[in-house]
């Protein structure tokens, strides 16, 4: 299988439970390289958990997840799975950027220091080089003038754009977005979506958990609707949103729009 037809993310039969509650009940999903997959669904449907399983912030109980052809969290040797050492897991995570609903910028560092943190600490990039790269990234998310502000001095939309720049600084091949605009005031949502649109246009592979149906319709290559731990419906966002086949998706769309 060559790089062209190997999906960036391959999820097979993934199950995950928190105590007695099974939140993922057998998920199969492919994210081809360069595509944007939008995951929508009511809260508690397991969409955020699925995203967190991809970069292994959460472990899974059964199934397999491959990113860039690499099995996440395990190595297969002699017909058995071996749990990866922490250092190997860290290496796997480097290539996967993640943007959180509540930004989680490091509050004790300025915007530019936040963006430099990954390359300097994890990759050992020289500080001067990391600074140049961080300046470029901040410029591209429209925040060159705010480089020396602390997160608490930035609006929610600005913080989220810094968070995106921070993830991009690791030069990831996959970006995960966990409800990136849900914690924002309505008038700040567009500036974040604009950055994400640009990113999609640049060919980045993205998994986006979102309630922004317009974004899904305009930017998404694939729409996945999850409910109660299973994927209920999937397909081209424009078709799915125009003519949902399942009653549950119709009910959901009626509520969010």
Partner 1 sequence: MTREQAAGVELPIEAVRPVRPGRWLGAAAALLFLAWLAYTIIVNENLHWDVIVAYLGDGRILGGLWVTIQLTVLSMAIGLALGVLAAVMQLSDNPVLRGTSALYTWFFRGTPLLVQLIFWFNIGLVFPTFAIGVPFGGPKLIEWQANAVITPFTAALLGLAINEGAYMAEIVRAGIRSVDPGQREAAESLGMSHRQVLRRVVLPQAMRVIIPPTGNQFISMLKTTSMVSVIAGAELLTVAQRIYLGNFEVIAMLVVASIWYVVLTTIASVGQHFIEKRFERGHVRLSSRVRRNLSPLPSKEPLPSKEPLPSKEPS
- Contact between 44 and partner 1 by CB under 8 A: the answer reads no
- Contact between 242 and partner 1 by CB under 8 A: the answer reads no
Q: Angle of helix 111-118 relative to helix 156-168, nearest 10 degrees? A: 30
Q: CA–CA separation, 11 vs 64, rounded Å?
A: 6
Ranges of beta strands (E only) in 86-192 are 96-99, 174-178
- Contact between 201 and partner 1 by CB under 8 A: the answer reads yes
Options 15-23, 74-82, 100-108, 222-230: segment touching partner 1 (CB under 8 A): 100-108
Give Cβ neighbours of residue 154 (< 8 Å, ≥ 6 apart): 111, 146, 162
Residue linked to tokens 């995203």: 51
Bridge partners (DSSP) of residue 22 are 17
Closest CA to 100 of 156, 145, 62, 59: 156
- Contact between 141 and partner 1 by CB under 8 A: the answer reads yes
Identity of the residue, 187 or 247, whose beta carbon is nearer to partner 1 in the bound complex: 187
Identity of the residue, 62 or 153, whose beta carbon is nearer to partner 1 in the bound complex: 153
Identity of the residue, 194 or 230, whose beta carbon is nearer to partner 1 in the bound complex: 194
Q: How far is the CB of 9 from partner 1 (least distance, A)?
A: 11
Identity of the residue, 47 or 231, whose beta carbon is nearer to partner 1 in the bound complex: 47
Are 134 and 116 in contact by the 8 Å Cβ rule? The answer is yes
What does the binding site for partner 1 look like in residue numbers (CB under 8 A)?
3, 8, 33-34, 55, 57, 68, 86-87, 90-98, 100, 102, 104-110, 117-118, 121-122, 136-137, 139-143, 145, 150-155, 157-158, 161, 163, 166-168, 170-173, 187-188, 191, 194-195, 198-199, 201-205
């Amino acid at each position: 299988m060559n790089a062209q037809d190997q999906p960036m993310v391959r999820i097979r039969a993934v199950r995950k439970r928190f105590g007695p509650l099974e939140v993922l009940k057998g998920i199969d999903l492919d994210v081809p390289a360069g595509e944007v997959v939008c995951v929508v669904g009511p809260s508690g449907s397991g969409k955020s958990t699925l995203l967190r399983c991809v970069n292994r912030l959460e472990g899974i109980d059964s199934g397999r997840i491959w990113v860039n052809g690499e099995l996440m969290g395990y190595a297969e040797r002699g017909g058995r799975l071996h749990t990866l050492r922490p250092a190997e897991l860290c290496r796997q995570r480097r290539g996967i950027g993640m943007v959180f609903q509540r930004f989680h910028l490091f509050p004790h560092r300025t915007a530019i220091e936040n963006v430099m943190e990954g390359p300097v600490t994890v990759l050992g990039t020289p500080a001067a080089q990391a600074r140049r790269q961080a300046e470029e990234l901040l410029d591209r998310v429209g925040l060159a003038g705010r480089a020396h502000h602390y997160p608490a001095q930035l609006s929610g939309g600005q913080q989220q754009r810094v968070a995106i720049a921070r993830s991009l600084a690791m030069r990831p091949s996959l970006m995960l977005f966990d409800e990136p605009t849900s914690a924002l005031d309505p008038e700040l949502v567009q500036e974040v979506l604009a950055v994400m649109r640009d990113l999609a246009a640049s060919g980045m592979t993205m998994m986006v958990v979102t309630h922004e149906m317009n974004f899904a319709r305009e930017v998404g290559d694939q729409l996945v609707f999850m409910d109660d731990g299973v994927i209920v419906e999937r397909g081209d966002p424009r078709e799915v949103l125009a003519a949902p086949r399942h009653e549950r998706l119709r009910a959901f769309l009626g509520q969010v729009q």
